Amino acid sequence: MDASTSAAVFKWAFDELAAGFASVFEAMAAVRPAVSWTALPNAPAIESEDSMCWTQQLGPLPGAVFAAVTQAGAAEAGQHVMLAAGIEDCTPEELRSTWVEALGQVFAVLGRGISARLGAEIAPKGGKLTTEIPTAGKWAALTVVLGSSPLVIHVALPEELLESLAVVPKANAATQSAGEASSSVPATMESARGAADDSRTFDLLLEVELPVSVSFGHAQVPLKDVLKLTSGSIVELSRAIVEPVDIVVNNCVIARGEVVVVEGNFGVRIQHVVSRHERLRTLK
């Protein structure tokens, strides 16, 4: 891969990441932050003990993306999201989990962008916390302005991943070239084209299957009582019979409703679709 191609792919990837952070925090914290990035000549000094370091594979693509933020930065970002949901008292673990949730959504946005670029379905997989900091790859510092103090995320993209992104199918390359040639069109046309691109990207998700379950309630039972359970035992749940049940998609409550019977099968009639703030409260 020549230098000009490498620079173009590098810029595209970090522009996608910056857009991902902006859109995800806009959705989760109700305010669109200003996001910028700066290329780094070398790997920065990162203290793994004081940082949350994450590695993320992107489907079948080689290598893994690395992202690091300080523990304090992750907690502050999580606090912004939870406050937007009306939740003030959070444990450090809850704030870290919120940051990980946001980071996962950012990589999902990047995966959709790569899918559109390569014309193949690319989805994040195998993400995990790590203490190993890469010394190779291309580095950049992304700055997300959420509050009074900016959040700095150091991100490394492996060379082999960038090389994969450089191999763009001819049809997609022609589309990108046309887009670059029309960079001077009016803003209204740019907005319309962006909406169309978003629609095509969203279409990639329409066939994704998610687990849907219905929660009738829960109970906390001492282990000694669990061991006594036999056929015919009754476990009392926390929900009254007149209360609506929860409809859960991918471990998140999205709606509530009443149980009905449809042609001999149980079903749920949706009575209330929960708000974004309520969904954040129910994340497990």
CA angle 252–253–256, rounded 5-degree value: 165
Burial class (CB in 10 A: 0-12, 13-18, 19+), 177: exposed
pLDDT tens readout for residues 132-180:
998 889 999 999 998 777 899 999 999 999 999 987 655 555 445 544 4
Percent of the chain at pLDDT above 90?
27
Cβ burial of 226 (10 Å; 0-12, 13-18, 19+) is exposed
pLDDT in the model for residue 125? 85
- Residue-wise pLDDT for 111-136, tens only, equals 889 988 888 888 888 889 999 998 88
Give first-to-last CA distance, the chain, whole Å.
Answer: 43
Mean pLDDT of the chain: 81
Residue type at 207 in one-letter notation: E
Length reported for the chain? 284
pTM score of the predicted model: 0.61
Q: Which residues pair with 64 in a beta bridge?
A: none
Residues contacting 253, CB < 8 A, separation 6+: 215, 246, 247, 274, 278, 279, 282
What's the rounded Cα separation, in Å, for the pair 170 and 167?
9
